[in-house]
Amino acid sequence: MAEKQKKTNPKAKWYVLNIRTGYENSIKKELQQRIEATGLQDKIEEILVPTQKKIVVKKGKQSVIADKIFPGYVLVKMELDAHTWDIVKNTEGVRGFVKTDRYPRPLPESEVKAIMKFMEVEQPSYQSSFSVGEAVKITDGAFADFIGSVEEIDNSKGKIKVLISFLGREAPVELDFSQVSKL
């Protein structure tokens, strides 16, 4: 209950940290531990690894993953002073603030809102590991066990058009990513 009533620091602004790519979540966790250990929760309020849900199809199976929007970067809402600068900058894996001149420049609130809105996009986009011209096997549907070549890929709908040899001629078949597997 007490957390809901927590006041936000009016001096806190969003800054962008350049970090080791692939370590976004572990650096976020490390920063949170350092903030708690030093009692700076009122000065460093939030750490954000911007992600978006994506549907990935591997080996004919669909799964939803949280895909990082900006690999190698983390957003931090904090009041910038010598102490908070030191805590953040000396966290292992943090390369530094994204800045201009000598001091970090805060991210405009409008950009932060745009990033948060983008993160909440309901319609996940699909990611396929297929490429045009690649030979694939149809695993499901009326043309199961047919082998064809990828003619077109629509990542926004999770559809793939495959050319198969049917009754002595080539015919295009539109399928879901989950109905096709690599050879």
Tokens at residue 6, please? 């927590």
Instruction: Give the strand pairing for 99-100 and 61-68.
Output: unpaired
pLDDT digits (tens, 9 = 90+) for 94-113: 999 998 677 889 999 999 99
Domains of the chain and any CATH numbers:
13-126 (3.30.70.940), 128-182 (2.30.30.30)
pLDDT digits (tens, 9 = 90+) for 143-180: 999 999 999 999 888 899 999 998 889 999 999 988 99
Q: How many beta carbons lie within 10 A of that of residue 51, not counting itself?
A: 15
Report pTM. Answer: 0.68
Q: Which element (helix H / strand E) includes 38?
A: helix 24-38
8 Å CB contact between 152 and 136? no
CA distances from 165 to 11, 60, 134, 174 (A): 66, 21, 15, 14
Confidence bin at 2 (pLDDT 50/70/90): very low
